[in-house]
Structure 1
Amino acid sequence: MGDVALMTPALIAIAAKYSNAQLTIVTRGNFSPFFYNIPNVNVLGINLKKYKGFFGVIKLYREIIKLGPFHAVVDLHGSVRSRMIAFFFRWQGIPTSKIIKGRREKLQQTRRFNKKINPLPHTVDRYLNVFKKVGYDAPIRKGPWLNVDGESKMFAKDYFKSIGLEKKSGQWFGFAPFAGHALKEWPFPKSKKLTEILLEEFPDCHVFLFGSKDEGKQLENLKAGSSRINLVQGGNLGIRGELGIMERLDLMIGMDSSNVHIAALLKKPVIGLYGTTHPMSGFGPFAQEDSGVLQVDLACRPCSIYGNTKCWRGDFACMEMIDPFDVVRRIRFLQNVNTLW
């Protein structure tokens, strides 16, 4: 989901420079709120379960081509399915280009010995390079890069009303303690400690915990009955609801996961806790790669691009060494340099 959301700065740049170009985005249907209000952008929202296997890809290609004619096709995913679809278009004589993910350079970063930790292009820059290959070159524009639609705002309004926070008061902090892979997550006791410290250090704050239905019990554990801690469960609110809520926050704290990336695209100050992964791999919070990252320098980092690996040291030091008070200090730093709150 984070990779899809990161398409928006590139699409906004292209749409702004090439106002006569019509962009058709093919993605999962539930991701369509990310592309709200981008000029000349249409979204073909699909359910991938309907397009399984080789014949499913052919079926999807036939549905896409009906929306043409197309002058170029860009593959920002680089999956087997997207490469096949691009091949069919190329067979029809339509120029295509695909993302270069830099797998060799990333392997050099993540191998256990003789690492080469050089900053790689951000995912957004890689997306822009794909457009450039078919003749569409454009500079990044100022954010925010996600627009929140009226439905999202209504979801958020109803949510805040349901928890008795119709009018904003104090500081509102989001905290997303989970990630797609366990090795990208802070140890749970540290998350627990952070919620307690936030309430102590910021007496006027409200904390909003983001997670899925499956993480409900752990979220309730973090809430511990506090009236100043509220749950935001995506299964109940959906992406639209979460976008509406994030738009009202002063800060988002989380792992290297979609919540932090989405908040950064909303131009909210973020604190992303990076351990197994590394922002130099091109996945830092967009436009906040320095101030928005909390990490410790260890020779073994990074050991993975996506977090789907095992800790070579066996002690998970990259995350264990990040203290909850480190997060508090970063919040105070951001408050001093940021005029948003």
Structure 2
Amino acid sequence: MAVHVLLALQREYPGIRLTVATKKGYTPVFEQIPGVRVFPVDTRGAHRGLGGLWKLYRELLALKPDAIADLHAVLRTHILRFFFRISGVRVAVLDKGRKEKRRLVAARGRKLAPLTPTHQRYAAVFAALGYPVELRPADVLGKPPWPEAIGIPKPGDDGGFRSRDGAGANIGVAPFAAHAGKCYPEKEMKRLLALLQEEKGLRVYLLGGGPEETRKLKQWEREFQNCTCVAGKGSLGQELQLIGNLDLVVSMDSGNGHLAALFGIPVITLWGVTHPYAGFAPFGQPRENSLLSDREQFPLIPTSVYGNKVPPGYEEVMASIPPETVYGCIRGALAPDTANQASTTGESERK
């Protein structure tokens, strides 16, 4: 989510030198930004423990930074900030808004109102350092080349269902998340894939992560003829390239939605026990692209900020989002002039 802020910094402060210190696994995300240096941090090896943090501090100090923006605000970065402060380097830290987030998910006395978006919280850190930015919809990455090495052929124009540019539509579907309370039930997901299979010229790329998820996605690839499983077929950098070539992505409240938003493509997010009011909606997406579970049926939503708390009876909360509603939203986002009646019908049923 910080990528959009870094792009805004480059736009408003030409020539600014940005170095992102992050875990090695995340370097492909920031390497997409032209002109940004990525410094890999090894928290399990060279930079482990207090001694490792001192080593990391010395390595970063050697870059002669004018300022340090702590976008993580955890114990490890708290220690690093202390080191930089005693060296006279300006430091600013992220305000995660923990108190207001606790009130948002409180069982009693809650006030369901939108909190500051995380993108704006990141921007506030740079403003505190003297670099205010105004985020714009254009603060996204350009379309990358298709990842030929991943071994998945790029489909041509098959006609039929059309995206905005008139070509056959290619969409990504990411049905999983870190916590079960944020995952669309398999029964509803298969109904959605069945609806999408009926659309001529529509190719679905299944995005996932771990071994069990990959096994299920490969099963769906065999079951639905227009589906291609992407999981396990390439690096994160290659998967990012593929995502950047899609016309739309359907995601849970999870990282895949944010990865798609990096490239400014439409993202439809499905929300279970979490809620976009916590500030984690993908960048630049219209409110109607956030499909929420039924709060009349499940009034405790949001039960947690990250989806790790599922009260009894809330295990199937996302089943209250009809596949027809998701399907209609997809059609509306890809071809708004030809969106079918399923969108209107599904929305009224959900309310």
CA distance in 2, matches of 1:96, 1:165: 45
1:242 equivalent in alignment to 2:239 = yes
| Identity among equivalent pairs (%) | 34
Question: Which one of 12, 27, 33 corresponds to residue 17 of structure 1?
Answer: 12
With over 3 angstroms needed to count, the CA separation of the structure-2 counterparts of 1:229 and 1:305, relative to structure 1, is same
Structure 1 stretches of 4+ moved >4 Å: none
Show the counterpart of 2:170: 172
Q: Deviations over 1:155-200 (max 9, x none)?
A: x2244xx445453542212100111112111112211221112102
Deviation at 1:333, TM superposition (A): 2.0
**Cα drift, residue 253 of structure 1:** 0.6
Supply the distance in 2 between the matched residues of 1:209 and 1:195 (Cα, whole angstroms): 10
Partner of 1:55: 51
Let me know the Cα RMSD of the aligned residues: 2.1
- Code of the aligned partner of 1:157: E
Does the Cα contact within 8 Å between 2:183 and 2:252 map onto a contact in 1? yes
Verify the 8 A CA contact 2:192 2:323 in the aligned structure 1: yes
1:191 lines up with 2:189 in the alignment: yes
Q: How many residue pairs end up in the alignment?
A: 324
Q: Report the CA distance between 1:53 and its aligned residue.
A: 1.6
Q: What is the letter of the counterpart of residue 249 of structure 2?
A: M
* Alignment partner, residue 3 of structure 1: none
Shift of 1:324: 0.8
- Partner residue in 2 for 1:318: 317
Moved more, 16-25 or 57-66: 16-25
For structure 1, which segment, 251-260 or 51-60, has the greater mean C-alpha deviation from structure 2 after superposition? 51-60
**Is 1:27–1:44's contact at 8 Å kept on the other side of the alignment?**
yes
Question: Equivalent of 1:282, from 260, 279, 283?
Answer: 279
In structure 2, distance between residues paired with 1:135 and 1:175: 40
The 5 A counterparts of 1:1-341 are: 6-36=1-31, 38=33, 40-50=35-45, 51-68=47-64, 70-143=65-138, 145-147=140-142, 153=145, 156-159=147-150, 162-165=151-154, 167-169=156-158, 170-200=168-198, 202-214=199-211, 215-233=213-231, 235-298=232-295, 299-310=299-310, 312-316=311-315, 318-337=317-336
How far apart, CA to CA, are the structure 1 residues paired with 2:35 and 2:267?
Answer: 30
Return 5+ residue gaps in structure 2 as ranges.
159-167, 339-351
Shift of 1:272: 0.5
* SS of alignment partner, residue 140 of structure 2: coil
Structure 1 residues 285, 292: CA separation in 2 closer, same or farther (over 3 Å shift)? farther
Give me the whole-angstrom Cα distance separating, in 1, the residues matched to 2:142 and 2:335: 27
CA contact (8 A) 1:36 1:147 kept: no
**For 1:128-179, what per-residue CA distance to the aligned partner results, in whole angstroms no more than 9, with x for missing partners?**
1001111111111333523465xxx35x2244xx445453542212100111
**Displacement after TM superposition at 1:205 (Å):** 1.0
Distance between the aligned counterparts of 2:266 and 2:104, measured in 1? 27
Name whichever of 205-214 and 27-36 sits farther off. Answer: 27-36
CA shift, 1:95, in A, is 1.4
Normalising to structure 1: TM-score of the pair? 0.89
Deviation at 1:92, TM superposition (A): 0.9
Q: CA deviation at 1:328?
A: 0.8
The 2-side partners of 1:216 and 1:49 are apart by 26
Please report how far the alpha carbon of residue 9 of structure 1 lies from its aligned counterpart in structure 2 after TM superposition: 1.1
Whether the 8 Å contact between 1:256 and 1:274 is mirrored in structure 2 is: yes
Kept after mapping to 2: 8 A contact 1:97/1:130:
yes
Q: How much does 1:29 deviate?
A: 2.3
Contact 1:251-1:268 at 8 Å conserved across structures = yes
Q: Distance in 1 between matches of 2:200 and 2:40?
A: 43
Q: Which structure shows the higher helix fraction? A: 1
Tell me, yes or no, if the aligned pair for 1:34 and 1:147 is still in contact at 8 Å.
no
